[in-house]
Structures are given as C-alpha cells and as structure tokens.
Amino acid sequence: MPTITSIEPQKNPSASLRAGKNLPSRKASARRGRVNIYLDGKFGFGLDLENFVKLGLKIDKELTEAEIEKIIKEGEFQKVYDKILLFGSLRPRSEREYYGWLRKHQVPKNLYDELFNRLKRLDFLNDKKFAVWWIDQRIQFRSKSKRELIQELRLKGISKDAIEEVLSETQPDEVVMARKLIAKKNYMWEKVSDSVARRKRAEFLLRRGFGWDIIKQVVDKSDDFY
C-alpha cells in the first residue's frame, strides 16, 4: 500500500494580497491552511488542515487506494467550499449568484446540495435577507425607484412574492428618492425655460422607473430645488 513519506505546508501567494484589506471576520473560515501529502516520495494530493487533522494522517501511515480516493474527494469538496465562502463573504449573495459562481468554476453538480446546505446553515444563503440588503443599499446610495428595484432583484433570481414581501416591510419613499435624483441632475436644466425643465425632469424620472403619481408630486414642486 502507498505510504505517506512527507507532509509539507502549501504556500498561499494570495494571502499577502488580502492582508491589507478590511474583510469581514467570517472570512477567516475561508482562508484555511493546506498541506501537500507525498506518497512513496511522490506528490499524492493536497488537503486542508481540518481534514488532515481529522483523518489523523502522519508520516509512515499506509493508505489503501480506496482511502486515498475518499480523502481526495473530501479535500476537493473542502477546497471548493472555502472558495465559495470567500465569494459569499464579499457581500450578501442570492441563490442565483451562487449557482452562477458554481457554473463559472465548473464545480461538479453532485456537490451542489451539500454546498448549499452548509451555506444555509451559516445564513450565507437567504434570498429574503439578500433582498432586504440589496434594497437598503440601492435606496441609500442610488435612489432607485420601486420598478428598478424589482427589475434588479428579479435579475438576481429573487421570487416575485419575496420581493413584494420585502418592499411591503421596507416601504421605500419614492418621492424622496425621486427628489434626490432630480437634485443631483438639476444642473442639466438650468439654462432652459421652466416649462422645458419640468418636461425634462418628468421624462428623466419616467426613464428611471417612477410612476406618474410620483413624478407629478416631484415636478410640481420643482421650485424647491433652487
């Protein structure tokens, strides 16, 4: 049977690139160390430290071919799991975004269920929670209309029912959002007549997804922007 003849720590060239970034604390779980296992003097496989310790691997330990195959499978799963945790730590993700990541990295489909189960247990995978975060960010930094928010969330794979539930709970004030957008763009209409300025403001807000009831409230009070 193959025998473990050497165990060496893997180098992590990307660690120095991440060191200076202000990353969420839960990312620590996605930066586990790894070791290289050598069998009969030749490289056998790489393995994360958690599985290395759990399996009790050490020099001179003999492994059957079946054991090696199982260890490699578990090690590959952990490697994918660590990477997808890092992906999910950058910001909240929708389920569709995770599927996209898995397809992009050509992860075998037989790993999907266990990966998603673990992500759910860590609360990394929660479409409603993602929708709440997305809406809050878009309102705070982009002044989005409800129509735009719905379109964006649908593209992220969030269900219609979930979107309606979150919007009913957050109740974004579209009048406030529309007025913020107009205030930012008001310089564009400074040199035109009041009537033309009102029409252009209305057209601008219409393109941004606001309804006529909101547009009327904002445009009719356009003098407040000066």
Residue 148, classified by CB atoms within 10 Å of its CB into exposed (0-12), middle (13-18) or buried (19+), is middle
SS3 at position 157: coil
pLDDT for 226 equals 38
Q: What is the pLDDT of residue 32?
A: 60
Please give the pLDDT value at position 74.
Answer: 85
Task: Going from the first residue of the chain to its last (226 residues), give the mean pLDDT of each consecutive group of 10, the final group possibly shorter.
Answer: 91 48 41 83 90 91 92 88 94 97 94 95 95 93 92 96 93 92 89 90 94 90 50
- Closest listed residue to residue 195, CA positions, set 225, 223, 176: 223
Say which amino acid occupies 53. V
Third-level CATH fold of 4-121 = Arc Repressor Mutant, subunit A (1.10.10)
Q: Where are the domains of the chain?
A: 4-121, 127-170, 175-225
Q: Which pLDDT score, from 0 to 100, does residue 28 have?
A: 41
Confidence (pLDDT) at 12: 62
